[in-house]
Amino acid sequence: MITIKSEREIELMRESGALVAKALDLLEMEIRPGMTTKELDTMAEEFIRDHHAVPSFLNYAPKGDPDVTPYPATLCVSINEEVVHGVPTAKRVIREGDIVSVDCGVYKGGYHGDAARTFVLGVIDEQVQLLVDVTRECLDRGIAMAVEGNRLHDISSAIEDYARSFRFSVIENMVGHGIGSELHEDPAVPNYGRKHTGVKLRAGMTLAIEPMIALGRSRRAISRRGGWVAVTEDGKPSAHFEHTIVVRPGKAEILTGTFLERKRT
């Protein structure tokens, strides 16, 4: 069931969304080669708890799937060919030339915020840099379609069309989602689809839009045995950006944007 949020609920989501954005800003300023992914995770958890909030991902387990071990960390930190759900550890070192997707969720005041950015560490291959830039633009184009009166797959089509215009692949089995008092709510927001289809968007819908785009020909992310992390089928790099937004008349409202995000555009 898709819920329409009241302005009071949206105001609470602004608070959680602002904390997500500030946490990612902190990580963007601090991330460097030689750090472990666990160091990033500890930094994020301390920041979130210092602001009287709770990490959304820590101990998260999908409903209805008792075989899945609860997620053990605050962040998802996914490097290079890792699409999503990379679990931070003290042994995983970030290196010069990596691209690092950091996904962060915050729960405060009864509501979640969720966002992701892909960080570039040093000098990288031109095609990989293009992948990162295109994925960020895919997010912007998807958000531009998240307005009252459009259809859900107008978002999906905008993302897919732009990614495929550069011959990049869309990861089809990982999708965005509704968000609110639950981290994952209806509807699912795929990154591919036919425009003018899907549910009609109504003001007050809150969505986490998150393109996951790959350099190679992978159309699926596959889970590594024994863990959460999902990687590209062909081992080629993948990038990931995400914002929590509110559907509005005319222009979507981004709940997880910050000065650092605006500065880059």
E strands in 152-257: 169-170, 176-178, 185-189, 206-209, 212-214, 221-223, 230-232, 238-240, 243-246, 253-254
CA distance 6 to 229: 35
pLDDT of residue 64: 63
User: For the segment 58-69, what is each residue's pLDDT rounded down to a tens digit?
Assistant: 999 877 666 678
Place of tokens 């981004």: 254
Q: State the pLDDT at residue 69.
A: 87
Residue 261: the pLDDT is: 58
- Domain presence at residue 140: yes
Per-residue pLDDT at 224: 73
pLDDT of 184 above 70: yes
Q: Are 120 and 132 in contact (CB under 8 A)?
A: yes
Which candidate, 134, 133, 170, places its Cα nearest to that of 153? 170
What 23-26 contacts at long range (C-beta under 8 Å, 24+ apart), as own/partner pairs, is: 23/47, 23/48, 23/104, 23/106, 24/102, 24/104, 24/115, 24/116, 24/117, 24/256, 24/258, 24/260, 25/258, 25/259, 25/260
Single-letter code of the amino acid located at 260: L
* Mean pLDDT for the stretch of residues 245-249: 98
Query: What is the rounded average pLDDT for all residues in the chain?
Result: 94
Its pTM stands at 0.95
Is the pLDDT at 119 greater than 50? The verdict is: yes
Number of domains in the chain: 1
> CATH number, domain at 239?
3.90.230.10
The answer to whether the beta carbons of residues 57 and 73 sit under 8 Å apart is: yes
Please report whether residue 2 resides in a domain: no
Residue 169 lies in a domain: yes
Angle at 163 between CA 76 and CA 85, to 5 degrees: 10
Question: Would residue 230 count as lying in a domain?
Answer: yes
What sign does the dihedral 234-237-243-248 (CA atoms) show? negative
Query: Residue 256: inside a domain, yes or no?
Result: yes
Whether 234 is covered by a domain: the verdict is yes
Nearest Cα neighbor of 261 from 25, 19, 75, 98 is 25
Mean pLDDT of 121-136: 97
Which of 43-47, 126-130, 213-217, 221-225 is the least confident region? 221-225
Q: What is the mean pLDDT of residues 71-79?
A: 97
pLDDT of residue 265: 46
Query: Which has more confidence, 47 or 258?
Result: 47
User: In this predicted model, what pLDDT tens digit does every residue of 151-164 receive, in sequence order?
Assistant: 999 999 999 999 99
Residue 132: which domain range? 7-264
Give the percent of the chain with pLDDT over 90: 89
Q: Is residue 197 part of a domain?
A: yes
Q: What is the pLDDT of residues 188-238, one digit of tens each?
A: 999 999 999 999 999 999 999 999 999 988 888 998 755 799 999 999 999
Is residue 176's pLDDT more than 50? yes
Q: For residue 218, what pLDDT is reported?
A: 83
The mean pLDDT of 30-35, rounded to a whole number, is: 97
How does strand 243-246 pair with strand 206-209? antiparallel
Cα angle value 10/11/12 (rounded, 5°): 90
Does 17 fall in a domain?
yes
